Amino acid sequence: MLTLINLQDEDSYPFQDGLPPGYRSLIFHGARALSIQTKFGMVVLQEFRQADFTILLGVYKFLHMIRCILRPQEFSTGSYLAIKNNFKCSIERIGLIRVKEGHFNFFKNNKENIETEFRAGKEYQMLEIYCSDEMVAKILHYFPRLAEQFKKTKSHHSFQLLLHNRFAGDKVLSLVNDILNSPFNASINKIYFEYKVREYLLLLMAESSNKEEPKFFLSREEKDRLEELAVRLQQNPNGKFPITPLAREMGMNEIKLKLGFKQIFGKGIFKYHLDQRMKEAHRLLKDSGLPVKNIASMVGYEMVTSFITRFREYYGYPPSQIQKK
């Protein structure tokens, strides 16, 4: 990708060699750096090219919401992994692609431009690895289900391999760290990166073939924190627990917090809290004699209509049925 086209003014901006002045974000050691700095913000692409693969780390940060077009790579088959923040882009014949932080997918792009949207003030980090069809085929051979999905698509069309983006898992993220922080010189990197790219593809395909949710290693301290969170959810049916500040408070990333909680308690944070709210609402309706409006407020609903709808969905009957009894 050598040209960025800003759709707001339709100007094209050529990439310059090297990192921009004052750059303080991710650095891909051993890669060639290309960058653009304009009045809109910054784009930094750090890439390592070989005969069979290209590794590309993209870092994007803009002062205003912006949509831009990025030119495709020479290899048609690739994978993308959102390292930081959620991405939204569009590729002709594939359509809109949304990928959450820590998730990945495979795609085949038949030279269509990639139109991407970036929100103001956020820094986006995306790792893309493009491979020759031969390299992909050698690994894909061991995953018949994925190979069958490749065969179902027409070779001249662009497509996204997996119906849903998949969570990368700790092993993949650790491998990404190894790739971006190579300790070797340029000549050894040629061998090192080829080995790492094959291992990376293997892990992504194994994760794609795994129908179960990823399992995390949780330290005793992390388990204690999650158990304390469960108690808070039980004791505060009217509380608000937004994931982003909660993850920051607990010293975990959002993905590990959500899936780690589900791993211990068998359900997600939202569902667990909903259970507590509905149980408390049921108890209050049965024993307190308070009006529905008051009870709705006591379990965290500002609008009584929202509470009645949720209660009916949860129990299969409205709150008034309990009060009549």
What pLDDT score was predicted for residue 4?
Answer: 62
Superfamily for the 3-209 domain: Jelly Rolls (2.60.120.10)
Q: Is the pLDDT of residue 214 over 60?
A: no
Backbone dihedral angles phi then psi of residue 35, each to the nearest 5 degrees = -150, 160
- Who has greater pLDDT, 78 or 93? 78
- Who has greater pLDDT, 72 or 310? 310
Query: 183: exposed, middle or buried (C-beta count within 10 Å: 0-12, 13-18, 19+)?
Result: exposed
The pLDDT confidence band at residue 54, using thresholds 50, 70 and 90, is very high
What pLDDT score was predicted for residue 287?
Answer: 87
Q: Is the pLDDT of residue 228 over 80?
A: yes
Q: Is the pLDDT of residue 242 over 50?
A: yes
What pLDDT score was predicted for residue 207?
Answer: 83
Fold classification of 220-324 (topology level): Arc Repressor Mutant, subunit A (1.10.10)
What pLDDT score was predicted for residue 70?
Answer: 65
Q: In the predicted model, what is the mean pLDDT of residues 78-103? A: 81
Start-end of CATH 2.60.120.10 domains in the chain: 3-209
Helices 133-140, 186-209: crossing angle, 10 deg rounding? 50
pLDDT in tens, 28-48: 999 999 998 887 788 899 999
* DSSP secondary structure letters along 281-316: HHHHHHHT---HHHHHHHTT-SSHHHHHHHHHHHHS
Q: Is the pLDDT of residue 65 over 70?
A: no
| pTM: predicted TM-score of the whole model, two decimal places | 0.62
Start-end of CATH 1.10.10.60 domains in the chain: 220-324
Amino acid (one-letter) located at 166: R
3-class SS of residue 146: helix
What pLDDT score was predicted for residue 176?
Answer: 93
Q: Is the pLDDT of residue 131 over 80?
A: yes
- Who has greater pLDDT, 146 or 280? 280
* Helical segments of the chain, H only: 133-140, 144-152, 170-180, 186-209, 220-235, 243-250, 254-265, 269-287, 292-298, 304-315, 319-324
What pLDDT score was predicted for residue 5?
Answer: 59
pLDDT in tens, 137-195: 888 888 887 887 777 655 555 666 776 788 888 888 889 999 999 999 989 999 999 99
What pLDDT score was predicted for residue 166?
Answer: 86
Distance (Å, whole) CA 113 – CA 235: 51
> Do residues 291 and 307 lie in contact, with contact meaning Cβ atoms separated by under 8 Å?
no
**Lowest mean pLDDT, pick from 58-72, 85-99, 147-161, 200-214:** 147-161
Q: What percent of the chain has pLDDT over 90?
A: 37
Q: Is the pLDDT of residue 1 over 50?
A: no
Cα Rg, the chain, nearest whole Å = 24
**Lowest mean pLDDT, pick from 7-11, 18-22, 108-112:** 7-11
Mean pLDDT, the chain, as a whole number?
A: 84
The pLDDT confidence band at residue 18, using thresholds 50, 70 and 90, is very high
Distance (Å, whole) CA 317 – CA 323: 12
What pLDDT score was predicted for residue 140?
Answer: 86
